[in-house]
Amino acid sequence: MSRVVPPPPGALEARMADLTGRRVPFVKATVVRARRPASARPGDTALVLADGRIEGFVGGVCAEATVRVQALRTLRSGESLLLRISPEETADGTGEPVVEEGAVSVRNPCLSGGELEIFLEPLRPAPRVVVFGESPIARAVLAFGPALGYAITSVSGADALGARAPAGTRALVIASHGRDEERVLLAAVRAGVPYIGLVASPRRGAAVLAGLAHELDEEQRARVRTPAGLWIGARTPGEIALSILAEVVREVLSPSPPSPPAEAAEAAEAAEAAEAVVPVTVVDPVCGMDVVATEAGTPFSDAGGGRRRWFCCPSCREAYEKDPARYAQRQTRAQPEAGAS
């Protein structure tokens, strides 16, 4: 069997740089171990995009099906994973994936033999935090942000934000002490920024929001956190900045990481989508493998009527289309969304 030649390393590196520069999330999949007759070799690499497309080479179509499922889960969770793929039964004998800390072993009955170990590394854009204002509190937030790994940006001036917040903004902190607050609040709410914090006393903050009643409804005004920050008894600018960033982590970043945008919107504007559709995981009715129900690389068939069926490889699809009734009783089952263990 001739081996598929992977793309030149430089091509994938350039593609990674391009995606990173445009803040498009993806997973880097690298083969770290291969037992023959696997077609992949250690060092082979592919990129798994948020819509399920795979660029590069980490094995044949059956191996790709498993990589796609597990890569999208790591993209959602943000945690790297060692994926072990084998045609043999898993250690517990159930046929289900065996999950360990930092690793998962998956039985892939369609493999022609061999085993693969693939390291999956999710590469997501750093959370973007925008700070409006030039006050001591604003400067303190800017100082702390890089230490947290955030892409933090300072904006100021009457026309700084224009009609919308910068693409991909996860949090906006307004610390301008009354300067242009209303205009910036309107732009942030209308742009759907997940966290909007207004640095103000309870009394002044309430007055600012009341003044926007003719522009924003009650639900929209309720999205603005004022006074911004968790209550920790903060007094100094540094302490207040710490309380604000703690609230950003709690409300925006920790409970639900940013959903990966569709690759169809690879431009920077795609990164600001508040919610993106995570492909559903279903079962191949022929071999029983988990596959991702996406047209970006996963074979499917509408034969037999009823709902569409998805397959790990063209061979399983061909077997199904020859006799759909044989597999009609095999129900596809929805799996936990990407990122669930």
- For residues 39 and 324, what is the distance between their CA atoms, to the nearest angstrom? 30
On whether the 128-253 domain is CATH 3.40.50.720, my answer is: yes
Pairwise pLDDT comparison (214 vs 160), residue with the higher score = 214
Of the chain, the percentage scoring pLDDT greater than 90 comes to: 32
Paired sense of beta strands 195-198 and 224-225, if any: parallel
pLDDT band at 160 (very low <50, low <70, confident <90, very high): low
Predicted confidence (pLDDT) per residue in 78-92, tens digit = 899 999 988 887 666
Q: What is the mean pLDDT of the chain?
A: 80
Checking if the pLDDT of 161 tops 90, the result is no
- For residues 51 and 338, what is the distance between their CA atoms, to the nearest angstrom? 12
pLDDT band at 276 (very low <50, low <70, confident <90, very high): very low
Pairwise pLDDT comparison (337 vs 92), residue with the higher score = 92
pTM comes to 0.64
User: 17-56: string of b/e by CB count within 10 Å (b at 16+)?
Assistant: eebeebbbbbbbbbbeebeeebbbbeebbbbbbbbbbbbb
- For the segment 1-19, the average pLDDT, to the nearest whole number, is 73
Query: C-alpha angle with apex 141: 140 to 145, nearest 5 degrees?
Result: 120
Checking if the pLDDT of 273 tops 60, the result is no
- For the segment 157-178, the average pLDDT, to the nearest whole number, is 71
Pairwise pLDDT comparison (146 vs 157), residue with the higher score = 146
Tokens of 297: 């690389």
Predicted confidence (pLDDT) per residue in 101-120, tens digit = 899 998 887 766 778 999 99
What residue spans in the chain does CATH classification 3.40.50.720 cover? 128-253
Question: Is the CB of residue 44 less than 8 Å from the CB of residue 30?
Answer: yes
Query: For position 56, what pLDDT does the model report?
Result: 93
Predicted confidence (pLDDT) per residue in 286-317, tens digit = 877 788 887 677 888 888 777 888 788 888 88
Contacts of 2 (CB under 8 A, 6+ apart): none
Query: For position 303, what pLDDT does the model report?
Result: 85
pLDDT band at 100 (very low <50, low <70, confident <90, very high): confident
Pairwise pLDDT comparison (61 vs 338), residue with the higher score = 61
Tokens of 149: 């790994």
- For the segment 51-60, the average pLDDT, to the nearest whole number, is 90
Pairwise pLDDT comparison (251 vs 249), residue with the higher score = 249
Query: For position 281, what pLDDT does the model report?
Result: 78
Checking if the pLDDT of 199 tops 50, the result is yes
Paired sense of beta strands 151-155 and 128-132, if any: parallel
C-alpha R_g of the chain: 24
pLDDT band at 336 (very low <50, low <70, confident <90, very high): very low
pLDDT band at 96 (very low <50, low <70, confident <90, very high): confident
Give start and end residues of each alpha helix (H) in 136-213.
136-144, 181-191, 202-210
- For the segment 131-141, the average pLDDT, to the nearest whole number, is 92
Query: For position 164, what pLDDT does the model report?
Result: 55
pLDDT band at 35 (very low <50, low <70, confident <90, very high): confident
Checking if the pLDDT of 226 tops 80, the result is yes
Query: For position 95, what pLDDT does the model report?
Result: 65
Query: For position 321, what pLDDT does the model report?
Result: 82
